Structure 1
Amino acid sequence: MTDFFGQKGLSWHVAVVIFKDLENSLKHRTFVHCFHSVKQDWFTVASILENLIEHVKKVMPSVSKVSIRSDNAGCYHCGHLWLSLNGISERTAVKIQSYNYSERQSGKSYCDSKIAHMRCKMRTFVAGGGNIQTANDMQGAIVSGKGVTGCQVSVARIDTSTQQIKSHKWKGVSHISNLQFNEDESITVWKAYNIGTGKTLSKQELMGYSSQQEETGMKVEEDFVGSDISGNIHKKNNNESNNTTTDVNGSLVEEDSTCPSHVFQCPEIGCVKTYQTHSSLKNHVLFGRHEFKLEHLKEFLTEIFDIGEESGEKVTPSDAAMRIRQARLENGSKRFSVTQYLDAAQITSFFSRLTVSRRKQVQQPRNVLMEDEDLEAVLAQIEDQTIRDIALEN
């Protein structure tokens, strides 16, 4: 059970910045901080926020005000962090106007979507022979190739020696869900968003709660690199569906989605399904009905399989995996994208099913190709076997 509890590894913090461009269109950019080792507490969050706002101000000089939204994790929902935000506003010259907390299981769709893309990118990097053992390796994996659209990654280290707020006297922190930071450095708080006038705490009251937090001074080992293209945010029309319906028994039924405006892509390598909402993506992953467009890859594998059968020098699955990565078109460009790469285990199953298919159809020409469903079944069997192996180990 050590695989599921007390996990150790590299830490990262993902922040999605949503803004309007000069044409008043909604855009988003993602900024990731990778760490070799870090304690996930309020001071780490404060250090990340200060560095992030400084960088946003650098790349988007017109930004003068920001509003922050996060989940209710203890490192975010605490008085230590709130008491440090006015100082961050002063040092970065960007006014933090408000801090709001999302409801449970809601509010992080954009972060979850980008995390899925970056995890897919890292899995592809490892499948291609790369290693991810340090925060620098993680940064390199995410930005490899064309990177992830709208995502920039840095490597940093928290300087805990600059932490000055050790404790505070702010009471009732757990009941607060919304904060507004006023121009006179007072803070107005609410238990529920925009219900009533709220309670305002003056600057003098806040100063009596704790000492002042000076510059956090996070050490940046590798500055932000990656795609500097801003992603688009399409407003959802009322008549658009959520990609799921309910059958007569009240169970969720997945709907097909081919609309180009869908922004949540399936993290499964090779799957081309996309969805309008993150909840629909989660339903798709739950159902496991992945859609692979691998016709050219199947033709390539079948071709090298046939050559091996005719020549007597059969190609091993590991050699086939390497040939997929090395295959080139006449113009010198890669024949297959990184997302189409298969590992030796997947190719072994494909060759096995192709052999069985040939034996059953001995009267058919040798160039009979497997159907899409056959290759999907191979991948599904591999995934099921992996899950069973993990269950048996634990």
Structure 2
Amino acid sequence: MKFLPIKSREPQSEFFGKRGISWHITVVSDNNTFDTDSDVSDSSQEVNDHEMTDLLKKTKMMGVSNETETKNFRYKVFVHVFDQCSQDSETIGTILNDILCRVKETDPQIKSAFIRSDNVDCYHSANTLVSAKQISEKTGIAIRRIDFCDPQDDKGPCDRYAAVIKSNIRRYLNENHNITSASEFVEACHSHKGVKGVLALGCQIANNAQKKDIKCKIKQITDYFNFEYLINGLLVHRSWNVGSGLLIPWLQLNCNRSIFNLISRGIEGFVHEWVQTNEHSANQNVD
């Protein structure tokens, strides 16, 4: 997304013709109870209605209530800010590679990742999907699946954190500061002790002048929303877990993509730690 540069006291002559600052938000969520070494697919964990009814009856007979059950999660938020960059698949692949490298560096036990994104062209493109295969090999975190939200879907966690970050930036701006560059944007994000769990980085792609690779194409890619990475190819679905899907062999795709290097600058001395949170059941009261 774009953030228009703004000054604390700005004349009207500088209001028009602005070039926006590009910033990308990524929310990394980790389920502490999830077994990363397990190769069991999602379909093997399905329970039919009769089994679920019997399970609920047994639970009630044992006197165990599921209303107080919680699941432990932890999350991190990454914000990559660019003074100037192209909103293309090469940039997205570079950001994704940087995030997985940082996660692998702090948590070596993480071995797989599932990605969910919106339907922006630079995300929902064949080049980005093919680059993910090389990113998995480079970072050591296997990308199992990439899912895209349905059109006209509700807001996701990235949109919610964007609102919180903008509120913190507005507070910084009202204290007679300017936000006209990526470095000032990063400083504004970390002002007032920052937003919990958010790491902002001023970034620049090192070798973006390099000749781009041949573009990869997948026919009618906008009709598919679920992409699963298999050994023999890319399995695509229109809707998740509906039908057998369409398998596209890797030989039909240009898998030799270039992953550019990312030069990032953050706040010195800032420690980016996981934030623990709990998911409460729907029947549990929220204060």
TM-score (norm 2): 0.74
1:17-57 deviations in Å (ceiling 9; x for gaps): 01023797211110110110111111111111111111111
Q: 1:167 aligns with which of 215, 219, 229?
A: 215
Quick check: 1:212 aligned with 2:252?
no
1:52-77 deviations in Å (ceiling 9; x for gaps): 11111112221110011000111111
1:264-287 deviations in Å (ceiling 9; x for gaps): xxxxxxxxxxxxxxxxxxxxxxxx
State how far apart, in whole Å, the 2-side matches of 1:144 and 1:129 are.
Answer: 13
Q: 2:171 aligns with which of 121, 124, 143?
A: 124
Which amino acid in structure 1 is aligned with residue 19 of structure 2? K
Name 2:58's counterpart in structure 1: none
Quick check: 1:237 aligned with 2:248?
no
SS of match in other structure, 2:241: coil
Distance 1:106 1:205, change over 3 A: same
Larger helix percent = 1
Name 1:96's counterpart in structure 2: 143
Quick check: 1:70 aligned with 2:117?
yes
Quick check: 1:14 aligned with 2:30?
no
Name 2:134's counterpart in structure 1: 87
State how far apart, in whole Å, the 1-side matches of 2:169 and 2:154 are.
Answer: 25
Aligned-CA RMSD value: 2.8
* Contact in 2 for aligned 1:98/1:178 (Cα 8 Å): yes
Quick check: 1:198 aligned with 2:245?
yes
Which amino acid in structure 2 is aligned with residue 173 of structure 1? I
SS of match in other structure, 1:98: strand
Distance 1:169 1:203, change over 3 A: same
List 4+ stretches of structure 1 deviating above 6 A: 3-7
Name 1:139's counterpart in structure 2: 186
* Contact in 2 for aligned 1:162/1:217 (Cα 8 Å): no
Q: Give the CA deviation at 1:229.
A: 3.8
Correspondences of 1:1-394 after superposition (within 5 Å): 8-21=19-32, 25-106=72-153, 108-158=155-205, 159-162=207-210, 164-182=212-230, 184=231, 186-206=233-253, 210=254, 212-222=256-266, 226=270, 228-239=272-283, 259-260=286-287
Q: Which has the higher contact order (CA 8 A, sep 6+)?
A: 2
Larger strand percent = 2
Structure 1 unaligned residues grouped into runs of 5+:
242-258, 261-394
Name 1:358's counterpart in structure 2: none
Larger Rg: 1
* Contact in 1 for aligned 2:93/2:259 (Cα 8 Å): no
Distance 1:169 1:149, change over 3 A: closer
Distance 1:131 1:5, change over 3 A: closer
1:238-262 deviations in Å (ceiling 9; x for gaps): 3368xxxxxxxxxxxxxxxxx55xx
Which amino acid in structure 2 is aligned with residue 155 of structure 1? G
